[in-house]
Amino acid sequence: MSTIAQNLQAIASTIVATAREAGRGADSVRLLAVSKTFGAEAVLEAVRAGQRAFGENYLQESLDKIVAVRAGLAAQPAEQAAAAALEWHFIGPIQSNKTRPIAEHFDWVHTVEREKIAQRLSEQRPDGMAPLNICLQVNISGEASKSGVAPAELAELARRVAALPKLRLRGLMAIPEPSEDYSAQRAAFAQLRQLYEQLRADGLALDTLSMGMSADLRAAVVEGATIVRVGSAIFGARHYAPAG
């Protein structure tokens, strides 16, 4: 078995065991494999191990990779079903002049933090494609330098985004301050969950909490993550960070 396949299996076991410990269903958490900086070959290896959802941060890199992965799967008739089931999630910062290719090539966007970006994604989502699934990124650490909408402005943004025709608002996403302390990790995720539960109580039909990465996966699952975004624990250490 390849290293990537072994890593995927190990993470799946961690997720299932942690969910059970927390009294959650084993299939209540989906794994998003974050493939940024890794090539199409690594993604194909993960696809052949059964992984279907991939997260990307850098637009140009991801567009090239989506084409290459599709071509790699098209070469094998037995892999057509896998190709059709692939999901691409954009999880990087979004510049407003780069929304069109995101609207055209992705299934999900986890990093919406402004109404203007959401409006553009909705306008640019091609007719005939399913609505673009959206998570709002929340700045739970409260630092001015950090990405994400401030918790105090979240409810208003959520109402406006939920009203856009070609988008489907699914939930919230956050990247807390890195901490090695398990209870600090849990406290940050609990904050996001509370915001999520408040929006649901206010009547928004949300079903997604996108939180947890390689280093804080267990804390996120215990606090209710429905999507965990895991990169290095699957693909290995990243050696570069391309621009754009």
Ligand X SMILES: *Cc1c(COP(=O)(O)O)cnc(C)c1O
| Residues lying near ligand X in the complex (CB under 6 A) | 34, 36, 57, 91, 175, 213-215, 229-233
Instruction: State which residue, 83 or 184, has the beta carbon closest to ligand X.
Output: 184
- Cβ at position 96, least distance to ligand X in Å: 19
Residue 92 CB, nearest distance to ligand X (Å)?
6
Q: Which parts of 83-236 are beta strand (E)?
A: 87-90, 108-112, 132-137, 167-173, 208-210, 227-230
Nearer to ligand X, 47 or 135 (CB): 135
Residues 35, 37, 39, 40, CA torsion sign: positive
Smaller CB separation from ligand X, 142 or 178: 178
Closest CB 144 distance from ligand X, rounded Å:
19
Report in angstroms the alpha-carbon separations of 221 from 15, 30, 68.
Answer: 7, 10, 32
Of residues 14 and 232, the one with the C-beta less far from ligand X: 232
Going from the C-alpha of 27 to that of each of 15, 110, 212, the distances in angstroms are 9, 21, 16
Q: Smallest gap, in angstroms, from Cβ of residue 14 to ligand X?
A: 13
Measured from the CB atom, the residue of 158 and 174 that comes closer to ligand X is 174
Question: Taking every pair of C-alpha atoms in the chain, what is the biggest distance, in angstroms?
Answer: 51
Nearest approach, Cβ of residue 145 and ligand X (Å):
16
Structural Rg of the chain based on CA atoms: 17
For residue 202, the one-letter residue type is D
Strands 87-90 and 227-230: unpaired
In whole angstroms, how close is the CB of 112 to ligand X at the nearest point?
A: 13
Please give the structure tokens belonging to residue 174.
Answer: 């956050």
Of 126 and 244, nearer to ligand X (C-beta) is 244
Residues 161, 163, 165: CA angle, nearest 5 degrees: 100
**CA–CA separation, 31 vs 117, rounded Å?**
26
